[in-house]
Amino acid sequence: MDKVLAFSKKLLKEVIDKNSIVVDATAGNGNDTLFLAKTSAKKVYAFDIQQLAIENTTNLIKEAELADKCEIILDSHFEFDKYINEKIRAVVFNLGYLPNADHEITTLAETTLATIKKFLLHLEVGGRIIIVVYWGHENGKVEKEALLTELQNLDQKEAEVLIYQFINQKNNAPFIIAIEKRKEISCEK
Ligand code: SAM
């Protein structure tokens, strides 16, 4: 069976092609941005609210000589529609805090949920949002519960929502919530 991170990459890769606009919503140290940049995607946008994350991500993609197809943005992922005007094919979130930095700066339930809902409006039909949920810390527990409660209520005609989790793993092991858009969604919701 695929480990959680390997499965998240498989889910992303399956829907990305040379015309795809893709987003790393939580750039951090840049590992997902680098992964997305190595796919055939046309353009990669990456967001983070910490300068350190922007620097680390920029350095990583520069070293890989993939900076040309990437835009690394110091802003909240919630503001993505200020920077991206095209339909989006795939989005990845790695929730939680930046390793080796301030553990008090984490993704937060309210912002994460509002951003996911906004991404759903801007996603192509067939596009995916992959969320890797790290819930060992206090904000993470709140965020996990909020996501599971809200996302199970998405209309199944509009979006499929999958959980991929090793339920016998100890120590709050991370798991995946994957959303695939099935049809256009009305903005009024
Ligand atoms: N995927 C990253 C990697 O490969 O290194 C790890 C991401 S880390 C677990 C979570 C990141 O989300 C942190 O760097 C944090 O600063 C960032 N973050 C928290 N709230 C955010 C927001 N509203 N918008 C964008 N990034 C945010």
Between CA 173 and CA 42 the distance in angstroms is: 33
User: What was the pLDDT predicted at 186?
Assistant: 74
Band (pLDDT 50/70/90 cuts) for residue 188 is low
DSSP 8-state secondary structure symbol assigned to residue 97: B
Ligand 1 atom closest to the CA of 112, numbered from 1 = 23
Q: What is the mean pLDDT of residues 74-89?
A: 98
Tens-digit pLDDT profile for residues 112-163: 999 999 999 999 999 999 999 999 998 999 999 999 999 999 999 999 999 9
Could you tell me if the CB of 79 is within 6 A of ligand 1? Answer: no
Cβ-Cβ contacts under 8 Å for 27 (sequence gap 6 or more): 33, 46, 47, 48, 53, 54, 56, 57, 72
Q: Contact 140/96 with Cβ under 8 angstroms?
A: yes
Q: Atom 2 (ligand 1): residue with closest C-alpha?
A: 28
Q: Atom 6 (ligand 1): residue with closest C-alpha?
A: 28
Between CA 7 and CA 130 the distance in angstroms is: 10
Between CA 13 and CA 147 the distance in angstroms is: 23
Q: How far is the CA of 145 from the centre of ligand 1 (A)?
A: 19
Q: Contact 50/61 with Cβ under 8 angstroms?
A: no
Average pLDDT score over the chain:
96
Could you tell me if the CB of 50 is within 6 A of ligand 1? Answer: yes
Could you tell me if the CB of 49 is within 6 A of ligand 1? Answer: yes
Q: How far is the CA of 31 from the centre of ligand 1 (A)?
A: 11
Between CA 40 and CA 33 the distance in angstroms is: 13
Could you tell me if the CB of 56 is within 6 A of ligand 1? Answer: no
Q: Contact 30/46 with Cβ under 8 angstroms?
A: yes
Distance of CA 51 to the CA centre of its chain: 19
Could you tell me if the CB of 76 is within 6 A of ligand 1? Answer: yes
Band (pLDDT 50/70/90 cuts) for residue 96 is very high
State the pTM of this model.
0.97
Band (pLDDT 50/70/90 cuts) for residue 185 is confident
In this prediction, what percent of the chain has a pLDDT beyond 70? 98
Ligand 1 atom closest to the CA of 34, numbered from 1 = 4
